[in-house]
């Protein structure tokens, strides 16, 4: 029996939707009661006639360990002595309709390996962390004015032993971390690791929201992975799915015989495009469940941030639905007002509890102020994925260069809104699967042009305002699209072109981290100035990236055609000598070598939007990055050439 005097307040907060640590109240917890060690089981099932704990320990016989109803709002409890960590269990629920169902624990901290579906007892507090230095640095960091480059990763298809046989979290730590660290990324983002029955859902259709998937080991094995990332200077972001859950019988669907975690109204509950169910965001206990779940991952696993999946599907009642399949809100609109309120409440709770984490919204519409604080009318995230930039750029890059001049706005339009949110530029798993082709294979042209297009695209991505995210395999030019049941084509690194792309990414990352102009003012208009946005005939753009120090200014020139131009004039912000510090056309990257090896002296004649200019070689399908290295008082007059 629960100690009512101690837990009454927590139970009250749970039913009010304000218990931020509900996983400490519910679930299976090793404890001592009346001098005996055992497991305390607590579950919320308000519509059940009877709830029992069942498992191998009682031959799955619900008559042996019935639970006691703690309150009228449906919390049930049972202490069972002599059970230990690792005990396999479920809840047997007798519904109001007289049916018996077996359900996994919504708050289970571990689960059986699929295809088995039972929950497993696992303690929260037995791992000893060694990442104190990282956590202290994280508290001091202003991430808005720091480099952030994210390697999006699906563990099982990064590298595996054989199909459906994977390495452990600890083994992945030994392989993944040195690789990602050497490439220069600042963070790893993991596709959802909440327990899920179907491998090919990639974790996006979960049953165990508090269970790290057992495919790769135990919860403490995963803590080790995160700990090792931190000790090696890498942050960890977890893909999190609060918008919907799968319908598998052992999961949350009609948990106690009635709609409990999902909406009762099918028009609000059904996510027909995915075959899943939406959480009932207006139900207080569901709010406690989800808010506590986010805090659980951030606190108990030292996760540095959450990428919140499919936010648009939460915000809009008509998301991917035909007319007649959805009902407007009380004001006649299509916004899910309960979901909007929940998202704001979620972010307020998280930043109140853990103010130094990242909350990133995958939100694909023009909903305003996604990354603004709630007190300013925003949703309260601190970052938003820039899906508009991603869609425009991929559409542009897939075109034959001869046609690009007719669609020049696709590479410039993003700068009209680049500072309306705190953006992340994402090239994620969704863009390289289901027939969309790999990032390299989207590029037009022959073998050489494909790689050149990839280099200029990645260069523009890393010099464009916004933090960066790239899905695994793109860093070495995976030719095939993502094969989620196989691992990456690592053998491609035996070929020069792919090895050159990997080297390119390492040096691009080094440049990115070394140059404050590429991140210090990422979210401020003064961090970017066009030099020439309008040269559509030659498909060339040029711009300036600024930092707080004028000495760190960079001039960036991108050519999206295979033409070479000599003595091309580019306006520059100040007189002096300019040096090309990076060129994607360098021979050691697999380029043609049309680089600017000599110093470029600014000429004191206005050009484009600047008061002076340089003359340079523009390489084919390439990005050139220049930096002023010295100051010349008068500059070089045009007639002195």
CATH code at position 13: 2.60.40.10
Count: domains in the chain: 3
The CATH number given to whatever domain includes residue 594 is 2.60.40.1180
**Residues 116 and 164 occupy one common structural domain:** no
pLDDT for residue 164 is more than 90: no
pLDDT for residue 639 is more than 50: no
**For residue range 257-301, what is the model confidence (pLDDT) as tens digits?**
999 999 999 999 999 999 999 999 999 999 999 999 999 999 999
C-beta separation of 144 from 523 below 8 A: yes
Mean pLDDT of 543-550: 93
**Rounded distance between C-alpha atoms, residue 331 and residue 345, angstroms:** 21
Model confidence at 620, pLDDT cuts 50, 70, 90, reads: very high
**For residue range 29-51, what is the model confidence (pLDDT) as tens digits?**
999 999 999 999 999 999 999 99
pLDDT for residue 509 is more than 60: yes
- What confidence score (pLDDT) does residue 583 get? 98
**Residues 151 and 281 occupy one common structural domain:** yes
- What confidence score (pLDDT) does residue 641 get? 33
- What confidence score (pLDDT) does residue 637 get? 36
* % of the chain residues with pLDDT over 70: 97
In Å, what is the CA distance from 602 to each residue of 553, 563, 614?
15, 24, 5
- What confidence score (pLDDT) does residue 636 get? 42
**For residue range 439-494, what is the model confidence (pLDDT) as tens digits?**
999 999 999 999 999 999 999 999 999 999 999 999 999 999 999 999 999 999 99
- What confidence score (pLDDT) does residue 6 get? 67
The predicted model scores a pTM of: 0.95
- Domain's final residue, options 120, 154, 184: 120
- What confidence score (pLDDT) does residue 5 get? 61
- What confidence score (pLDDT) does residue 635 get? 41
**Residues 150 and 287 occupy one common structural domain:** yes
Flag whether 477 is in a domain.
Answer: no
**Residues 218 and 312 occupy one common structural domain:** yes
Query: Across the chain, what does the average pLDDT equal?
Result: 95
- What confidence score (pLDDT) does residue 633 get? 47
Beta-bridge mates of residue 93: 51, 101
Flag whether 196 is in a domain.
Answer: yes
Three-class secondary structure of residue 551 per DSSP:
helix
pLDDT for residue 418 is more than 90: yes
**Residues 234 and 379 occupy one common structural domain:** yes
Mean pLDDT of 341-348: 98
Flag whether 445 is in a domain.
Answer: no
Flag whether 395 is in a domain.
Answer: no
C-beta separation of 424 from 386 below 8 A: yes
**Residues 159 and 255 occupy one common structural domain:** yes
Range of the domain at 329: 146-361+374-385
pLDDT for residue 163 is more than 90: no
pLDDT for residue 616 is more than 60: yes
**Residues 175 and 275 occupy one common structural domain:** yes
**Residues 21 and 160 occupy one common structural domain:** no
Flag whether 209 is in a domain.
Answer: yes
**Rounded distance between C-alpha atoms, residue 27 and residue 295, angstroms:** 16
**Residues 109 and 235 occupy one common structural domain:** no
Flag whether 311 is in a domain.
Answer: yes
Flag whether 586 is in a domain.
Answer: yes
R_g over Cα of the chain:
27
Model confidence at 4, pLDDT cuts 50, 70, 90, reads: low
**Residues 171 and 281 occupy one common structural domain:** yes
Catalytic residue positions? 309, 362
Count of beta carbons in the 10 Å neighbourhood of residue 453: 23
Flag whether 513 is in a domain.
Answer: no
Contacts of 65 by beta carbon, 8 Å cutoff, 6+ apart: 52, 53, 54, 58, 78, 80
**For residue range 361-394, what is the model confidence (pLDDT) as tens digits?**
999 999 999 999 999 999 999 999 999 999 999 9
**Residues 69 and 11 occupy one common structural domain:** yes
The CATH number given to whatever domain includes residue 211 is 3.20.20.80
**Residues 536 and 632 occupy one common structural domain:** yes
**For residue range 515-533, what is the model confidence (pLDDT) as tens digits?**
999 999 999 999 999 999 9
Tracing tokens 């139970």 back to the chain, one arrives at 11
pLDDT for residue 551 is more than 90: no
**For residue range 298-322, what is the model confidence (pLDDT) as tens digits?**
999 999 999 999 999 999 999 999 9
pLDDT for residue 555 is more than 90: yes
């Amino acid at each position: 029996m629960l100690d009512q005097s101690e837990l009454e307040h927590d139970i009250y907060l749970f039913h009010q939707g304000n218990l931020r640590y509900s996983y400490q109240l519910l679930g299976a917890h090793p404890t001592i009661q009346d001098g005996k060690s055992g497991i305390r089981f607590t579950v919320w099932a308000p519509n059940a006639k009877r709830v029992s704990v069942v498992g191998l320990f009682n031959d799955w016989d619900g008559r042996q360990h019935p639970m006691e109803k703690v309150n009228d709002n449906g919390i049930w409890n049972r202490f069972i002595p002599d059970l230990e960590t690792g005990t396999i269990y479920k809840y047997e629920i007798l519904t109001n309709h007289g049916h018996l169902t077996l359900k996994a624990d919504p708050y289970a901290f571990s689960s059986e390996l699929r295809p088995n579906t039972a929950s497993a007892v696992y303690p929260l507090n037995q791992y000893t962390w060694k990442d104190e230095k990282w956590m202290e640095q994280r508290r001091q960091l202003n991430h808005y004015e720091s480099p952030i480059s994210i390697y999006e990763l699906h563990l099982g298809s990064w590298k595996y032993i054989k199909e459906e046989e994977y390495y452990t979290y600890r083994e992945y730590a030994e392989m993944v971390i040195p690789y990602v660290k050497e490439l220069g990324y600042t963070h790893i983002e993991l596709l959802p690791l909440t327990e899920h029955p179907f491998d090919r859902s990639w974790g996006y259709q979960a049953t165990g929201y508090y269970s790290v998937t057992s495919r790769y080991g135990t919860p403490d094995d995963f803590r080790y992975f995160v700990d090792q990332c931190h000790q090696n200077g890498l942050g960890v972001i977890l893909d999190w799915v609060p918008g919907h859950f799968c319908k598998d019988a052992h999961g949350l669907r009609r948990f106690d015989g009635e709609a409990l975690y999902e909406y009762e109204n099918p028009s609000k509950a059904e996510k027909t495009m995915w075959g899943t169910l939406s959480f009932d965001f207006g139900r207080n206990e569901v709010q406690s469940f989800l808010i506590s779940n986010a805090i659980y991952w951030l606190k108990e696993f030292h996760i540095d941030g959450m990428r919140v999946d499919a936010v648009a599907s939460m915000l809009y009642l008509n998301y991917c639905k035909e007319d007649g399949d959805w009902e407007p809100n009380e004001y006649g609109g299509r916004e899910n007002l309960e979901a909007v309120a929940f998202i704001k409440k979620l972010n307020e709770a998280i930043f109140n509890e853990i103010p130094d984490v990242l909350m990133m919204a995958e939100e694909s519409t023009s909903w305003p102020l996604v990354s603004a604080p709630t007190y300013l009318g925003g949703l309260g995230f601190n970052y938003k994925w820039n899906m508009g930039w991603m869609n425009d750029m991929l559409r542009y890059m897939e075109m034959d260069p001869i046609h690009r001049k007719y669609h020049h706005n696709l590479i410039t339009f993003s700068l009209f809104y680049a500072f309306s949110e705190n953006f992340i530029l994402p090239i994620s798993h969704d863009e390289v699967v289901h027939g969309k082709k790999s990032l390299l294979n989207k590029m037009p042209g022959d073998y050489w042009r494909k790689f050149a297009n990839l280099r200029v695209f990645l260069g523009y991505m890393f010099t464009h305002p916004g933090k960066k995210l790239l899905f695994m395999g793109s860093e070495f030019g995976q030719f095939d699209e993502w094969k989620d049941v196989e691992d990456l084509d690592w053998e491609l690194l035996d070929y020069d072109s792919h090895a050159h792309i990997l080297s390119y990414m390492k040096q691009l990352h080094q440049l990115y981290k070394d140059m404050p102009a590429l991140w210090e003012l990422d979210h401020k208009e003064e961090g970017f100035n066009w030099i020439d946005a309008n040269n559509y005939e030659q498909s060339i753009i040029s711009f300036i990236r600024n930092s707080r120090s004028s000495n760190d200014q960079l001039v960036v020139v991108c050519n999206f055609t295979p033409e070479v131009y000599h003595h091309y004039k580019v306006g520059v912000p100040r007189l002096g000598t300019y040096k090309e510090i990076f060129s994607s056309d360098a021979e050691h990257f697999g380029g043609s070598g049309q680089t600017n090896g000599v110093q470029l002296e600014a000429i004191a004649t206005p050009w484009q939007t600047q008061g002076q200019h340089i003359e340079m070689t523009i390489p084919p399908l390439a990005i050139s990055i220049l930096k002023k290295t010295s100051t010349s008082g008068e500059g070089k007059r045009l007639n002195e050439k």
